[in-house]
Structure 1
Amino acid sequence: MRGVLAAGLAGPGFSLAVPDRPAVPPFDPGPLGAPVPMPDQNWYLVPAPTGSQAYRPGARRQWEEQSAQARARFEYDWQAAWAAEQHRQRQLADYRAQYDAWAAERHRLLAEQASQAGQLAARLRAGEPAAVAEYFEAVIDWREDWPDGFPADGETSWDAPARRLVVRWELPPYEVVPSVGRYRYVRSDDREDEIARPVAQRKELYREVLAQCALRVLAEVFRADHDGLLASVALNGVVVATDPATGQEGERCLLAVEADRDAFAALALDRVAPLDCLVGALGGRVSARPEKAETVPEVPVSAAGTAAGAPSGADARAVAAAADSTGSTSFTDFTDFTDFTDGEGPDLFEMDPLEFEELVAELFRRRGLRTSTTARSGDEGVDVLAEDPDPITGGKIVIQAKRYRKTVPPSAVRDLESTMRRQGANRGILVTTAGFGPGSRKHAEGQPLTLVDGPMLLELLREQGLPGRLGPVLPTQRTSSARELTPGQNTVLPAEEVRVRFRAGGAAADLTLLLLDADGKVRRDEDFVFYHQPSAEDGAVTLRPEEHRASIRTGRLPDSVRRVAISINLETDGDGTCADLVDPRVELHCGDGHWLFRPPADPAVSAMLVAEVYRHPADGWKLRALGQGWSDGLAGLARDHGVDVA
């Protein structure tokens, strides 16, 4: 663990002149190269009797019998050795043919790699921005001597005007640091006891390991910069872990640092304390509790705060025009790709279907594929045709783009599989603005199918500097002033009218309300306020389902109504869950009070009570955040509160 940095410094530096793989070794037949020894007839000769033995009665007859048996053994052994030799020669010929075919392919691959390396070197000399990112991505990926359990995988972005490389590097998980510190032998029982490593020591060692990883990657990059291309290198170290706020797995940034070339060159890395060097000398940030996946702010991809490599203004139009001239799909409806940040840009739900297909095509073109959209008629179920130009792993890819609000049904995944086979494609990709249920994901397991849901689509668009959002633009100024509630928290309402607003992207969900008595049940079916029954008690509780808004006027509610429960539920004709919602939030306003509740992303829940307005004997009407869910959706929620859903 403590030698990660030292091992990296001791290894060779990267160079395009050095092949990634060793040269083709000469043919080595091994044991097959040794002929089978043939028996020598002299080994089987039986000495004739001499002296007095020659005159013993029956001696000659006995000698003749033994000689005949020896000749028979010789003949048998010679035939067996000859058959074994023939078999060896056939095996040797087969092995040689296999080697010749393998060597020819190996020579072809090495020649192709050498050609690609030469082309990359020429592109580097020409100052092509994409070549810089490609070269340094090869630099950080080529070393294979990382310890077991270390991912050793990263990606790069190049900010040409600032001569700044940004590296996104996957860090090892906390589990790479052994929980066992030492073993103790118990002689009386002849056994070994595990002695746990002190928790504080394990945590500190993990932070040091993270710092070593960062310094090693920075060292590799600067050492490979033979032409002085880099003015600085920024590194964001991420780990795949569960977000404690949402329960979803994703990348969590545990480490961020930006190193100037001159400052890094002044370091004596073989003598530094890694954590002190990263934080003190380079001004980096390391999570205070990386074992809990607590994050630190990432270094921006671009010095200007935009995605590196993404064109802006006139550059964007030039890129689009260039794409048109080469036959690839262009995305020209947005003249400045870099003007959009989270929550801005076009609403993908409202986008024209053809424009959405063009956006998806542009996304995959930026990821290195050759793409083109198909005509509206006669597309045979294909929205975008793509080709991966990699000569080894590439091939034809069919992409379907589904601009859905509700969960994609499993039939769409089955249709994609059929289309992929009909088109003779290597892979199929289904992109949607909504989500996928367990049936769809189970069908895609083990198949050459990739499912891209709404949250993943937004992340991919952001990575490539493309615009897009799911749902209306949120009023960030108002939301930022809201007090965020967690389940169980409550507050006194300062006025009689409570205004409710539900916002979420991804899967489609509805807002519903229930008027409940002291037993937590509806008094009658009219107390269930939903899409087809949008008001109760002469407008005391009203719902605007299309806008996901509701209002509760507590002063107009009869004494028999003790609570008004506020719930969200996924569409009943799909298999979506709360985990398919993108950034869900329930905002509540009452007088000058403003509260925010974020429903948990529970994949087992399709309906959830998020809050309730209730009577308190001393404080009057109060608001409480909840978070109680039902796996059988709106039907289960309604049934448990006394609504007849038969």
Structure 2
Amino acid sequence: MWSVLAEAQREQHRRAEEQRRAAAAAQREQERARREAQRAAARGEREALRAYQQGRESDAARRTAELDGRVAELRGVLAAGLAGPGFSLALPERPVVPPFDPGPLGVPVPMPDQNWYLVPPPAGPQAYQPGARRQWEEQAARARARFEHDWQAAWAAEQHRQRQLADHRARYDAWAAERHRLLAGQSAQAGLLAGRLRAGEAAAVAEYFEAVVDWREDWPDGFPADGETSWDAAARRLVVRWELPPYEVVPAVGRYRYVRSDDREDEVARPAGQRRELYREVLAQSALRVLAEVFRADREGLLGSVGLNGVLVATDPATGRDAERCLLAVEVDREVFAGLALDRVAAVDCLVGALGGRLSARPEKAEPVAEVPASVEPVGPVAAPEPVAADGGGPDLFEMDPLEFEELIAELFRRRGLRTSTTARSGDEGVDVLAEDPDPITGGKIVIQAKRYRRTVPPSAVRDLESTMRRQGANRGILVTTAGFGPGSRKHAEGQPLTLVDGPMLLELLREQGLPGRLGPAAAPAIPVQRSSPAAELTPGQNLVLPHGELRVLFRAGGAAADLTLLLLDADGRVRRDEDFVFYHQPSAERGAVTLDPAGRSATVRTGRLPDSVRRVAVSVNLDADGDGTCADLVDPAVELSSGDGRWVFRPPADPAVSAMLVAEVYRHPADGWKLRAVGQGWSDGLAGLARAHGVDVA
């Protein structure tokens, strides 16, 4: 008995010992698993940190690569210009209107085949099983139902596709018709300019080469790519004034690096000397590229030489004002330039050494160099087209009642063959005139918006017209305004079934249909002068010797209200006293030597009666001081100047940032006597800014 009890105790002890060992093993396994989990977590953290740091390093390398790409682009300014196509008045031979592409809409929706849904009847022994026939009939009925459902769905999808394709085709046809119309207009304008070039018209030469220097749009970001030209027909000499890019186009950062210890991205500055030399190279390449564009476009052999002044708008340290500073200047003959291998030259050495040009030693400080002289003497009157009159007679469209203006627009398009009706003032959903083109092929619904604006129409109005056109289910939208459209509006309308009609186009359309209308007050009658020769077109900077006698000035423009203002200036370019300021409140100076008519649109300068202390007479155009108009709001502005048998026309640039502009100046020349120069310089703060710049005390 005792042996049985002892054996039971030993068995119990063994079981307890096994449980203890199993518990200890389980604890050791848990501890091992915990340590392994900690090690795995640590490895994960290290790997995550490593991946994070590698990502930051990759980002720094990517941004450095972008900097290197920018530098390569700057070093390739000249090469990019030489590789591009040359300027041509001719339209490209390839189709400029791509053929209609239906895309996915051109693929018909596949219709289901009934054979796909057939259920074979039971055969063999299965045909004799109970219920086999009924089961087959039920399956066949379900298959026929699926087929009918799928066929109806496919048919509906095909009908929807055909409607979408028809709408897509209608939009394409409308766009293509408008594109063809625009291309035809461009072709006609190019043909006219080519004819004027062949006739040797000086204004056409300047216009052509200004288009040449402005047409390329593939300059790097930050490059203004804007130029002006003047032409001396007698000397066969063209002078280009080209705006240069600022110093900031060269990146100040040389590279980016990631600092692991501080977990930050550090910018490593580009060495100042390297940045300055790269900027000088960019300026030299820009100059050579412009010269190459000009000479390459001269297919008629008009140019004997080209002068180039590269200017930068920078702060003048003497005055603290922003002004143009010439950073490079060069003049080169055709034969010399033709002997260059531009694809292999070092730009700075070529500009300064081979061509004898001047390049600022410290362009980053905008240190100027002497400009190439830009004076151009006309050899005689040159035929120029008469400006289109801005006053078509009848009511002033700016002052017309809005409902009457809408009725006028409706009548205009009615006479052009459309069926039109005006909408109610409230609830029109942005539609002023509804029109319908009755043509069975190209016709459809048209929505027309009429806006009597004095300032440029914002792009939002074009976007609103597009939304209204779609909401109305119209094929086309037309936006008619008394003002103009900026590049944003025209870019948005490009490729869309939208037509933009600005103020000058509206006047032309009204005249074509025999309808009255003008933009702004009626122009003052012209001063009776002898019209023995047509007016010569003046460009900014152009000057000429005046005949003896009086100079008559006439300003014509539609759109915003504007007046002439004249200032009598001394040798320092400032008025001697307040009485030298001739404007609508003070229409005369020096006992009638300078007079302004009461309407503010014509003036007379009697140079023989001016005292010696008056060295210059500045002629300017200023917008209404009580309004917010700018020179961009003037419709077809022109300043006509006449003296003796000479007659000249200067057309002020349409600058939206300028509300007063110095258009011309009469000045004493030691050798030639009184001369006339076309200017085109403006002030954003209007008449007050013009007056202050010439020493008038403005309260």
Q: Residues 197 and 311 of structure 1: is their aligned pair in 2 closer, same or farther, counting only changes over 3 Å?
A: same
Partner of 1:113: 186
SS in 2 for 1:228: coil
1:457 lines up with 2:662 in the alignment: yes
Match of 1:343 in 2: 573
Partner of 2:147: 74
* 3-state DSSP of counterpart to 2:311: strand
Kindly indicate whether residue 204 of structure 2 is the aligned counterpart of residue 131 of structure 1. Answer: yes
Task: Evaluate the alpha carbon distance shift between residue 159 and residue 355 of structure 1 in structure 2; reply closer, same or farther with a 3 A threshold.
Answer: farther
Deviations 1:308-356 (A, max 9, x none): 54443249999979x99xxxxxx9999xxxx999728999962253998
CA distance in 2, matches of 1:222, 1:345: 44
Matched, 1:17 2:223: no
* 1:99 alignment partner AA: Y
- Residue 627 of structure 2 aligns with which residue? 413
How many angstroms apart in 2 are the aligned matches of 1:585 and 1:257? 38
**Matching residue of 1:251:** 324
Does the 8 A contact of 2:77 with 2:219 survive in 1?
A: yes
Change (3 A) 1:383 1:317: closer
Deviation at residue 11 of structure 1 after TM alignment: 2.1
CA contact (8 A) 1:238 1:253 kept: yes
| SS across alignment from 2:314 | strand
Match of 2:593 in 1: none
Give, in angstroms, the shift of residue 201 of structure 1.
Answer: 0.7
**Cα deviations by residue, 1:450-480 (Å, 9 ceiling, x for unpaired):** 46355x5379999x9248999xxxxxxxxxx
CA distance in 1, matches of 2:209, 2:93: 14
SS across alignment from 2:112: coil
Q: Aligned equivalents of 2:105 and 2:548: distance in 1?
A: 63
Name which of 36, 40, 49 aligns with 2:109: 36
Note the 1:200-239 alignment, pairs <5 A.
200-239=273-312
- Alpha-carbon distance change, 40 to 467 in structure 1, aligned in 2, over 3 angstroms: closer
Identity %: 66
Equivalenced residues, count? 409
1:514 is matched with none
Matched residue type, 2:279: Y
Distance 1:80 1:104 in 2: 36
TM score, norm. by length of structure 2: 0.50
8 A Cα contact 1:159 1:309, kept in partner: no
1:23: Cα distance to partner?
1.8
- Partners of 1:59 and 1:118 lie apart in 2 by 85
State the distance in 1 between where 2:305 and 2:664 align: 26
Q: For 1:10 and 1:467, how far apart are their aligned partners in 2?
A: 36
Report the equivalent of 1:313. Answer: 546
Q: What SS does the corresponding residue of 2:313 show, helix, strand or coil?
A: strand
Q: CA deviation at 1:207?
A: 0.9
- Whether the 8 Å CA contact 2:82–2:292 is kept in 1: the answer is yes
Find the counterpart in structure 2 of residue 573 from structure 1. none
Distance in 2, Cα, partners of 1:20 & 1:243: 48
Structure 2 Cα separation of the partners of residues 345 and 466 of structure 1: 20
Letter in 1 for 2:662: L
Tell me which of 166, 171, 174 is aligned to 2:239.
166
How far did 1:287 drift? Answer: 2.2
- AA matched with 1:299: V
| 1:315 to 1:297, Cα distance in 2 relative to 1, 3 A | farther
Quote the offset at 1:254 in angstroms: 2.0
Residue 95, structure 1, aligned to residue 309, structure 2? no
Is residue 662–residue 679 contact of structure 2 (8 Å, CA) maintained in 1?
A: no
CA 71–33 in structure 1, closer or farther in 2 if over 3 Å, else same: same
**Offset at 1:126?**
1.0
Residue aligning to 1:175: 248
Among 577, 584, 594, the residue aligned to 1:353: 584
Q: Which amino acid aligns with 2:573?
A: G
Quick one: structure 1 residues 224 and 466, their matched pair in 2 at CA, closer, same or farther if it must change by over 3 Å?
Answer: closer
Partner of 2:351: 278
How far did residue 221 of structure 1 move? Answer: 0.5
Counterparts of 1:50 and 1:461 in 2: how far apart (Å)?
112
Distance 1:164 1:429, change over 3 A: closer
**Contact conserved, 1:348 with 1:356, CA < 8 A, in 2?**
no
Counterpart Cα distance in 1 of 2:107 and 2:547: 71
Q: Is 1:46 equivalent to 2:277 in the alignment?
A: no
Match in the other structure for 1:582: 693
Distance (Å, rounded) in 2 between the aligned partners of 1:356 and 1:53: 117
- Greater CA deviation, 179-188 or 343-352? 343-352
1:122/1:300 Cα in 2 relative to 1: closer, same or farther (>3 Å)? same
Q: Is the 8 A contact 2:97 2:176 kept in 1?
A: yes
Contact 1:430 1:451 in 2 (8 A): no
1 CA distance for matches of 2:155 and 2:665?
Answer: 66
SS at match of 2:238: strand
- What pairs up with 1:629-644 in 2 under 5 angstroms? none
Residue aligning to 1:545: none
Q: 1:427 & 1:584 partners in 2: Cα distance?
A: 27
Asked whether the equivalents of residues 158 and 164 of structure 1 are also in contact (C-alpha less than 8 Å), the reply is yes
Contact conserved, 1:154 with 1:170, CA < 8 A, in 2?
Answer: yes
Please tell me the residue identity of whatever aligns with 2:677: G
- Alpha-carbon deviation of 1:222? 0.9
Shift of residue 58, structure 1, vs aligned partner: 3.0
CA shift, 1:274, in A, is: 0.5
- How many Å apart are 1:27 and its aligned residue? 1.1
8 Å contact kept, 1:344–1:469: no
| 1:156 pairs with 2:229 | yes
- Name 1:622's counterpart in structure 2: none
Partner SS for 1:233: strand
**CA distance 1:402–1:86, change in 2 (3 Å):** same
Which protein has the bigger helix share? 2
Q: What is the match of residue 471 of structure 2?
A: none
CA distance in 1, matches of 2:341, 2:85: 18
Please provide the CA RMSD for this pair.
Answer: 5.0
1:252-273 Cα offsets, whole Å, 9 max, x none, are 3222221122222222212211
Q: CA deviation at 1:135?
A: 1.0
Deviation at 1:113, TM superposition (A): 1.6
Contact 1:257 / 1:283 at 8 angstroms: preserved in 2? yes
Compared with structure 1, are the counterparts of its residues 132 and 428 closer, same or farther at alpha carbon in structure 2 (3 Å cutoff)? Answer: closer
Q: Which amino acid aligns with 1:452?
A: V
User: Quick one: distance in 2 between partners of 1:43 and 1:316?
Assistant: 100
CA distance in 2, matches of 1:201, 1:468: 38
Judge conservation of contact 2:227–2:241 (CA < 8 Å) in 1. Answer: yes
Instruction: Describe the SS at the equivalent of 2:111.
Output: coil
AA partner of residue 658 (structure 2):
V
What is the CA–CA distance in structure 1 between the aligned matches of 2:339 and 2:281, rounded to whole Å?
Answer: 21
Specify whether residues 94 and 192 from structure 1 end up closer, same or farther in structure 2 by C-alpha distance, changes over 3 A only. same
Q: SS of the residue aligned with 2:254?
A: strand
Q: Identify if the C-alpha distance between structure 1 residues 55 and 427 changes in structure 2 by more than 3 Å, giving closer, same or farther.
A: farther
Distance in 2 of aligned mates of 1:75 and 1:316 = 96
The TM-score with structure 1 as length reference comes to 0.53
What is the SS of the residue equivalent to 1:452?
A: coil
* Alignment check: 8 A CA contact 2:575 2:581 kept: no
Paired residue secondary structure (2:693): strand
What's the secondary structure of 1:353's corresponding residue?
A: coil
Aligned to 1:57: 130
Q: Give yes or no for the alignment of 1:2 onto 2:75.
A: yes
Task: Report the alpha carbon displacement of residue 106 of structure 1 after superposing the two structures with TM.
Answer: 1.4
| One-letter code aligned to 1:206 | Y
Q: How many angstroms apart in 2 are the aligned matches of 1:348 and 1:96?
A: 68
